[in-house]
Amino acid sequence: MTTKNKAIFLDRDGVLNEEIGTYVWQPEKFIVCPGVPESLARLKAAGYYLIVVTNQAGIAKKLYTAADVHACHAKLQSACGGIIDALYFADAHPSVSDSILRKPDSGMFEKAVARFNLDVAQCWIVGDRLRDMEAGANIGVRGILVGEEETGFLPHVADLRAATAVILKQDLRCDVLPA
């Protein structure tokens, strides 16, 4: 029997980089949030795959290109020491085209589950929108909502640093439970 792996699915804008109120596609405006490299390093050290899942509707709207998204992702990887295992993006927008990859659908998650042999019960989604939580829930992934806006969703924390603390604390609880 093959051992299944665990992963952290990460929304991008508002979790890994600063939300600027519009599409973030220019590397000079792509600012990695404080504590992100350290948080990702802690999660990686705990044995998690790190997988970015982001909607990039600006591509469908012809505001920017996939190459622009890749340039931002290269900046993110550089800031984090290249430890992110996969960066998926959905380039559709409901007004232009339809896609099962776009959150709240779970297509990006399903691709990663197959590629990395993931046990969804050991995975988390960290996002700043309820659609991120819904996409994870569609395949059984637990969610942590980050950000200032109060939505009533629990758990809800300030940022990725706080989400990392919740995840690692939960891991410790699971490690000490009797088999």
Among 73, 94, 81, smallest CA distance to 16 is for 73
Would you place residue 94 in the very low, low, confident or very high pLDDT band (cuts 50, 70, 90)? confident
Quick one: pLDDT at residue 177? 45
Q: Which of 13, 91, 128, 132 is catalytic?
A: 13
Q: Which of 11, 105, 132, 159 is catalytic?
A: 11
Sheet holding 86-90, edge to edge: 86-90, 48-55, 6-10, 124-127, 142-146, 156-157
Q: CB under 8 Å to 54, separation ≥6 — which residues?
A: 11, 12, 13, 87, 88, 89, 90
Mean pLDDT of the chain: 92
- pLDDT tens string 156-165: 999 999 999 9
| Residue spans per domain, the chain | 6-176
What would the mean pLDDT of 69-98 be, rounded to a whole number? 92
Q: CB under 8 Å to 29, separation ≥6 — which residues?
A: 20
What would the mean pLDDT of 127-145 be, rounded to a whole number? 96
Written as one string, the DSSP assignment of 78-141 is HHTTT---EEEEE---TTT---SSSTTS-HHHHHHHHHHTB-GGG-EEEESSHHHHHHHHTTT-
C-beta of residue 150 within 8 angstroms of C-beta of residue 39: no
Active site residue 91: no
Q: Is the pLDDT of residue 179 over 50?
A: no
Quick one: pLDDT at residue 96? 66
Active site residue 13: yes
What would the mean pLDDT of 107-113 be, rounded to a whole number? 97
Amino acid at position 49, single letter: Y
Task: Name the more confident of 173 and 19.
Answer: 19
What is the second-level CATH architecture of the domain 6-176?
3-Layer(aba) Sandwich (3.40)
Quick one: pLDDT at residue 173? 66
Q: Is the pLDDT of residue 119 over 70?
A: yes
